[in-house]
């Protein structure tokens, strides 16, 4: 099982995670990343979205 943590202090709202994995990520009213249901995207797509974050605000953890 994978989980993704969002560091809201680091997130700049670029939306790269949403572009890369729209079923797994969204943005809130402040344009900060929000994790949706990670099972909506393959694990590799989620990992790619985490890597696409320009500020490193997303952390992927595998349990």
What does the pLDDT look like over 5-53, one tens digit per residue? 999 999 999 999 999 999 999 999 999 999 999 988 999 999 999 999 9
The CATH number of the domain where 48 resides is what? 3.30.70.20
What is the spatial distance between Cα 28 and Cα 63, in angstroms, rounded to a whole number?
Answer: 26
Q: What average pLDDT does range 57-62 have in this prediction?
A: 96
State the pLDDT at residue 63.
81
pTM of the model: 0.91
Nearest Cα residue to 33 out of 63, 56, 6: 6
State the pLDDT at residue 31.
96
Expressed as residue numbers, the domain containing 39 is 2-62
∠ CA 22-11-50 to the nearest 5 degrees?
45
In the chain, how many domains are there?
1
Q: φ, ψ for residue 26 (rounded to 5)? A: -145, -175
State the pLDDT at residue 57.
98
3-state secondary structure at position 51: helix
């Amino acid at each position: 099982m994978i989980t993704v943590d969002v560091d809201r202090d680091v997130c700049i709202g670029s939306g790269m995670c949403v572009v890369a994995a729209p079923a797994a990520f969204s943005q809130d009213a402040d344009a900060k990343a929000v994790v949706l249901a990670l099972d909506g995207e393959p694990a590799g797509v989620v990992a790619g979205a985490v890597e696409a974050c320009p500020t490193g605000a997303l952390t992927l953890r595998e349990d």
